[in-house]
Amino acid sequence: MATCAVLALPVLAREGVDVGGISPMAKLVPAETVERSAGQQYQQLLQQGKQQNALASPDQPQLKRLRAIAQRIIPHAMAWNPRAKDWRWEVNLLGSSQINAFCMPGGKIAFYTGILQKLQLSDDEVAMVMGHEMAHALREHARERMAKSAATHGVASVLGAIASYKWGIDPNISNGVARGGANLLSLEFSREDESEADLVGMELAARAGYDPRAGVTLWQKMGAANKGAPPQWLSTHPSSKSRIAEIQANLPKVMPLYQRALASAPAR
């Protein structure tokens, strides 16, 4: 009988950043429940904005700009989380002086006008912010935080965490659920979550054809805008200098992706 030698094929290393797998803790909270609740909270937030004449209309130039950037980034999200292919992505703009943006579980994105106006963000910098916020959702950081808080504090219900002040949502929106998990309403992502989102977001932006070096200028602007902020060891977030250093260290991993995206992009 003839025998065939089986050659072991080399395993190709993944291009891009290396942040490991999604935390097993996230699986303790049902994704469907979190995403459904997030969608409800998001719609309520938009309704509040509409009532206050703070919700941008579809033809508003800055909103059109945000949605165009999102259209380029979203196709690259699925590689980070298979659930993302079924998400009903939304992008909206709210009139507020806050320097803030978010992406809720399920792909519900919002920017505040303050971050665009006060920081005068370029498209590349907007893509870095958007990629960062999308990364939080893709990496299931909210589910992980909620599960850890529930485990730590013995909270029976964790859905109230969706109404985090990070997202600027009135805690009363969560009704009885919020009362059951009131201590979760101040949910914030950890330093590790923020660092991970920086790197994943940078890769998402690079694959979409946005310059990942914009992460450096973005956090320089953030640092200047947050003068007087507490030192790093008193904050849950890494300092701007730490973030810039980590971004710079990972640029060699994503610059080829950006250059390839530019080379293959149709003329605009």
Domains in the chain, number: 1
Active-site residue list: 133
The model's pLDDT over 212-233, given as tens digits with 9 standing for 90+, comes to 999 999 999 988 887 756 555 4
> What is d(CA 128, CA 122) in angstroms, rounded to the nearest whole number?
10
Task: Determine, yes or no, domain membership for 13.
Answer: no
pLDDT of 145 reads: 73
Task: Determine, yes or no, domain membership for 253.
Answer: yes
pTM of the predicted protein model: 0.81
Looking at the predicted structure, is the pLDDT value of residue 193 above 80? yes
Task: Determine, yes or no, domain membership for 95.
Answer: yes
pLDDT band at 131 (very low <50, low <70, confident <90, very high): very high
Looking at the predicted structure, is the pLDDT value of residue 130 above 90? yes
Structure tokens at 7: 């050659």
Among 202, 182, 200, 68, which Cα is nearest to 137's? 200
pLDDT of 172 reads: 42
The model's pLDDT over 9-55, given as tens digits with 9 standing for 90+, comes to 454 567 888 888 877 766 777 778 878 888 888 898 899 999 999 99
pLDDT of 242 reads: 87
Longest dimension (CA), the chain: 80
> What is d(CA 206, CA 257) in angstroms, rounded to the nearest whole number?
6
Q: What are phi and psi of 187, to 5 degrees?
A: -50, 130
Pairing of strands 108-112, 90-94: parallel
Task: Determine, yes or no, domain membership for 215.
Answer: yes
pLDDT band at 152 (very low <50, low <70, confident <90, very high): low
Task: Determine, yes or no, domain membership for 177.
Answer: yes
Looking at the predicted structure, is the pLDDT value of residue 174 above 80? no
Task: Calculate the alpha carbon distances from 205 to 16, 118, 129, 170 in Å.
Answer: 11, 22, 9, 31
Task: Determine, yes or no, domain membership for 17.
Answer: no
Mean pLDDT, rounded, for 171-183: 33
Task: Determine, yes or no, domain membership for 3.
Answer: no
Of 20 and 92, the structure prediction assigns the larger pLDDT to: 92
Question: Which residues form the domain of 71?
Answer: 26-262
